[in-house]
Amino acid sequence: MKHKKNIFTGIIISFIAMISLAIGLGIQVNQVNASTVAEIKAKGEIVMGTSPDYPPYEFIATVDGKQKAIGMDISIGERFAKDLGVKLVIKQMDFDSLLVGLETGKIDFSISGLTPTNERKKSADFSKVYYQADQYFVVNKNDKKLYKNFHSLAEKKIGVQTGSLQLKLAKEQMPQAKLTQMTKITDLILALKSHKTDALLMESTVAIAYAAHDDNLAYIKSGLVQGSDMEGTAIAFPKNSPELVAAANKTIDQIHEKDSITKYLADAGDYLKPAAKKENSWLIVAKYWKYFANGLGYTILVTVVSAIFGVVLGILFALLRLVNSKFVNNIVKAIVEFIRGTPLMIQLMFVYFGLSKMLNVDISPLLAGFIAVSINSAAYVSEIIRGGINSVDAGQGEAARSLGLSKKEAMQSIILPQAIKNIWPALGNEFISLIKETSIVSIIGVSDLIFQLRAVQAATYQGIIPIVIAMLIYFIITYGLSKLLNFYERRMNHGNN
């Protein structure tokens, strides 16, 4: 009984340690966001959700030596926050997660080229339209003469962003087309340039920007008919937020009166100029080396923290599977099998969106990444350790007990050392896999290597080179870790020779 109590105490201490470490790294668990003007002012800040891969609406650029989300939408958000007299906090997330972020209280509002369609109005409130644009196709320049409008692309492969207005338009008016959905515009551009798709449907302002900065791309007018609820972009708020909508409408009126949209677009264009047409592509990307360095830091941080807590929790899970209690065994077995039987992406989204909603707190993206990846890794590590313990001959434990060692002493001094030696290669594979699996945290806005890769793609209009650089970085750290693990494996085996 005392043994079980110690194990449960260990689990609790581990989770507390995880939270404490996260807080120590500058992460805070805050109250869920407010939804009225009075609550926003009392809080002193307003949280804006955006997907910064849509230049010139929103994208990542280097401003005064620091990475920053900029663009027309960001400028509108800054103006809105200024009018409210509060600080603007920007949360970066995938486009198809923005409405989920509003629903779960992760963000107070969203500006990200969102069109207030009737379908979206069922789950969010919208301000009046602040900008109107047509729908264009982006095509490879050599194919421009083949296509005139959506009729000539009716049976072709069309790329559209997941959850976007363009997806809805293509489905309704191009039923014979083969649609390719992706979360990021940068990925869609890459698919187009590698001829995975024939055309990419997007708003005219964005299409013109991409064509202007890439000699291999061109745009054509789509000719698609937009419904009355599909014209223009607006600010989205959580459902039943009339005060915030009214405040946003007031800001939009002032923006239109001063024609500030033109200035916002011009300011964004200034940051796109470094992507000069005649400059070497590698040199363009090389200027963003700090992005990759920053991403590498976060990748290593998530990996190390998740590996530490994954091993600690994995050992505890494994020991709980070995205690003489069928009830405890079945509970732990069910937990481990459930974790191993569900995708890490879903676990991550549950922790970030679902757990925040259930506990009524705001879990930061980095902390959500720590929790989800650590628990997922613990499930696999526990089975590796349990297999290693079971691989040790039962006679070893019996011999130790016959020599007067307690069960705990036999486990610590006789069984575990042999088990670790047996499972070392499998643990090494788990650690190497963990480095690569951490890339999933980019979907909730953690600035790891994959997140930074996409930021560089959006800022430079270069699709393949950032991918090659990220691949090389991943290879170097996984190969280095593999060599380090092999070194210690040889040292452990040295005693057997």
Return the CATH number at 203. Answer: 3.40.190.10
Same domain, 362 and 468: yes
Same domain, 125 and 139: no
pLDDT at res. 135: 92
Within-domain flag for 377: yes
pLDDT digits (tens, 9 = 90+) for 263-280: 998 888 777 655 445 667
Higher pLDDT: 163 or 29? It is 163
Same domain, 106 and 199: no
Residue type for position 16:
I
The mean pLDDT value of the chain amounts to 85
Same domain, 259 and 299: no
CATH of residue 446's domain is 1.10.3720.10
Tokens, residue 200: 């990419």
C-beta neighbour count of 442 within 10 angstroms: 26
Within-domain flag for 172: yes
Same domain, 260 and 163: no
Consecutive H or E run containing 3: helix 2-24
429, burial (CB in 10 Å: exposed 0-12, middle 13-18, buried 19+): middle
Higher pLDDT: 118 or 8? It is 118
pLDDT at res. 43: 87
Within-domain flag for 47: yes
Same domain, 108 and 254: yes
Within-domain flag for 29: no
Same domain, 122 and 195: no
State the pLDDT confidence band at 170, using cuts at 50, 70 and 90: very high
Whether the pLDDT of residue 415 is over 90: the answer is no
Same domain, 264 and 324: no
Structurally, the chain folds into a number of domains equal to 3
Exposure b/e, 24-35, CB count within 10 A at least 16 = b: eeebeeeeebbb
Higher pLDDT: 403 or 345? It is 345
Give whichever of 61-75, 290-304, 352-366 has the largest mean pLDDT: 290-304
Same domain, 141 and 123: no
Q: Which residues contact 174 (CB under 8 A, 6 or more apart)?
A: 150, 153, 154, 158, 224
Q: How far apart are CA 220 and CA 144, in angstroms?
A: 8
State the pLDDT confidence band at 37, using cuts at 50, 70 and 90: confident
Q: Which domain holds residue 416?
A: 281-494
Same domain, 140 and 184: yes
Within-domain flag for 159: yes
Within-domain flag for 50: yes
Same domain, 250 and 365: no
Same domain, 183 and 319: no
pLDDT at res. 153: 93
Candidate from 234-238, 296-300, 483-487 with smallest mean pLDDT: 483-487
Higher pLDDT: 492 or 180? It is 180
Whether the pLDDT of residue 346 is over 50: the answer is yes
Average pLDDT estimate for 132-144: 91
Within-domain flag for 188: yes
Tokens, residue 360: 């009524």
Q: How far apart are CA 258 and CA 255, in angstroms?
A: 5
Within-domain flag for 372: yes
Average pLDDT estimate for 270-297: 77
